[in-house]
Amino acid sequence: MENKKLSELFSEIADMLTIDETPSSKFEVRAYRKAALTISSLQEPIENVYKSGGKEALMALPGIGKGLAASIEEYLKTGKIRKYALLKKRYPIDFTQLTQLQGMGAKRAVLLYKKLCVRNVEDLTKAISAHKIRDLEGFGEKSEELFAKSIEMQQASKGRLLLGAAMPAIEDIVKKLKDSGLAEDVFIAGSTRRMRETVGDLDILALSNKSEDLMGFFTKMNGVERTIVKGPTKSTVWLSLGVSCDLRVIDPKSIGAAQQYFTGSKDHNISVREIAVRKGYKLNEYGLFARGGKMIESKSEEVIYKKLGMQWIPPEMREARGEIRLAQEGKLPKIIGYDDLKGDLHSHTKETDGNATLDEMASAAMSHGLEYLAVTNHTKSARIAHGMNDAQFMAFFRKMDELGKRLDGSFTLLKGAEIDILKDGRLDLEPKTMKEMDCAVASVHSNFNMSEEEMTKRVIKAIDSGYVHVLGHPTGREIMEREAYKIDLEKVAEAAERNNVAMEINSQPKRLDLNDTNIMLVSKYKINFAIDSDSHSTNDFSFLRYGIGTARRGWLTKDRVINALGPEMIKKALSRRMAQV
């Protein structure tokens, strides 16, 4: 799957083009960034799109024109892009790694290259150790400390993939194995099945009576860099994606036990096996056995849990956080399902930093089975996202009204904005503009380094304004790139409860914010949650499953998720006529 690499190449081309700041480069930068966004959010391999219809199929993707389609074709055929190679001669810098560091943009990376010959993270680490950054104009000691902390985060997450990259990759492998005709069935296991936000490796189980042929097919698939281990029933390969993948062929009699065992988590499985021992059984990947070795059950996870005196536990809950006790008592919550969302309360169009029109986003939301969409473009303080001012929002709302009339009740559009929470807690729009909105999402996008007390007061002031419906990505973290800002989430939840404001579970794979542990922390308050895509592309609605998976990991039930309501009920909820939870 070439999506990740190609997206990184286009992002790096955009980074290098920003340095010249010519009129044409500004246009090109935006085009490459939009193309990178489209490719990174695709949930199918870009090479499959090309195989299905050539350059025409590529050009049907949002933000991909003739020139960009030609570059994609060039890469898929040769593994190279000539434009990238030419720019790289001028700027031999690892922009992909460096610009992932907090506080590091392309221009700063070039300045460090010119002043200190910093080409990559390794060079930057040496410069930090020698305290050379703090003496450079425009950097200083704080920048040096921020870079050091970001590098530490980057190194700690090395060898791990975001769930949003792991899931489409493993699904593509599963499809290929099924389509090969060599397997009767194929199953996802491991932390991917548990919907963990990052994944260290991929685990796949298969049923096959042609095991050796299946292993031969698996180890020779596109995307396999090398074979680590190859055997008749288990093989491990290293993927060009940057992680290993295990394939195990399972005896059909043991598939339930194998699914339970290889899904994990380790701590959950230890506890389950201890219960089995106390009941006089033995549980392993082959089955549940009585003391004399007689197999009791192995074909069904559900029956294994039942034999041990438990309800079946959804994979997302298997983290040894109290789920086993509840399952023994028959009190597991009925967590939200993957088909329970009716709408999305956070999305962007090309008026700011999205790459699709209002019509295209509405059509994409409908094709994903949604019944309504809040369009929440950025406000003026978000300059990098081309944020809109009050007059621009009012004009855009008229445009939304026109589309609403054309849709004639078949789909509901909600007027909104993702309003910047300014440093002092004020909101970045005039009250008269916000009063026109059906759904105001308020988010922090700047000044992340405030103290916990300052940040908490800032966010609570915004919530107390009376104009906010949803608090967007409440901790501001970006997984493997930026830590959460310091904030007292319980005090924020108290304010949200007081004002009937929903707290967001942002489904973007790099955010998943709130995460599962924070959901569990604040769900004791009488608040609603909103599982939103934060879509910037028509493909991004597919990210909602990651937000739902995170909500399931946080044990959320459907009744706590505001956008599981239908169009009429969501209008009532957002207009605050609905009683608090």
List the beta bridge partners of residue 335: 557
CA dihedral 567, 573, 579, 581 (to 10 degrees): 90
294 φψ region: left (φ > 0), alpha (ψ -120 to 50), beta (else)? beta
d(CA 339, CA 161): 25
pLDDT in tens, 453-473: 999 999 999 999 999 999 999
Work out the average pLDDT over 383-408: 94
Work out the average pLDDT over 233-237: 97
d(CA 286, CA 297): 9
Our measurement of the distance from residue 523's CA atom to the centroid of its chain's CA atoms, rounded to an integer in Å, reads 21
Q: Which amino acid is at 85?
A: A
Structural domains in the chain plus CATH codes:
3-156 (1.10.150.110), 161-249 (3.30.460.10), 254-329 (3.30.210.10), 343-574 (3.20.20.140)
User: Is-contact 164 137, C-beta < 8 A?
Assistant: no
Would the pLDDT of 159 be above 60?
yes
DSSP letter at 401 equals: H
Assigned token pair, 570: 């969501």
Q: Place 578 in a pLDDT band, splitting at 50, 70 and 90.
A: very low
pLDDT in tens, 165-191: 999 999 999 999 999 999 999 999 999
Indicate the angle between helix axes 358-367 and 390-407, nearest 10 degrees: 50
For residue 576, what pLDDT is reported?
64
d(CA 459, CA 488): 10
Would the pLDDT of 340 be above 50?
yes
For residue 383, what pLDDT is reported?
84
pLDDT in tens, 400-454: 999 999 999 999 999 999 999 999 999 999 999 999 999 999 999 999 999 999 9
Assigned token pair, 209: 């009576």
For residue 323, what pLDDT is reported?
98
Our measurement of the distance from residue 2's CA atom to the centroid of its chain's CA atoms, rounded to an integer in Å, reads 18
State pTM to two decimals.
0.88
Would the pLDDT of 203 be above 50?
yes
Angle at 453 between CA 452 and CA 458, to 5 degrees: 95
Residue 190 C-beta-side C-alpha neighbours within 13 Å: 20
For residue 579, what pLDDT is reported?
35
pLDDT in tens, 497-547: 999 999 999 999 999 999 999 999 999 999 999 999 999 999 999 999 999
User: Is-contact 519 487, C-beta < 8 A?
Assistant: no
Strands 470-471 and 439-443: parallel
For residue 156, what pLDDT is reported?
76
- Compute the Cα dihedral for 451, 454, 459, 463 and give only its sign: positive
Which helix or strand (DSSP H or E) is residue 437 part of? none
580 φψ region: left (φ > 0), alpha (ψ -120 to 50), beta (else)? beta
Average per-residue pLDDT for the chain? 94
For residue 419, what pLDDT is reported?
98
Residue 569 C-beta-side C-alpha neighbours within 13 Å: 12
For residue 577, what pLDDT is reported?
32
d(CA 535, CA 556): 22
Strands 295-297 and 343-344: unpaired
Q: Place 581 in a pLDDT band, splitting at 50, 70 and 90.
A: very low
**Could you count the other beta carbons within 10 Å of the beta carbon of residue 383?**
9
Q: Place 475 in a pLDDT band, splitting at 50, 70 and 90.
A: very high
Which helix or strand (DSSP H or E) is residue 385 part of? none
List the beta bridge partners of residue 503: 471, 529
Select from 268, 269, 246 the least CA-distant residue to 186: 246
pLDDT in tens, 280-331: 999 999 999 998 889 998 899 999 999 999 999 999 999 999 999 999 999 9
Would the pLDDT of 22 be above 80?
no
For residue 580, what pLDDT is reported?
38
Work out the average pLDDT over 551-574: 96
Work out the average pLDDT over 147-164: 87
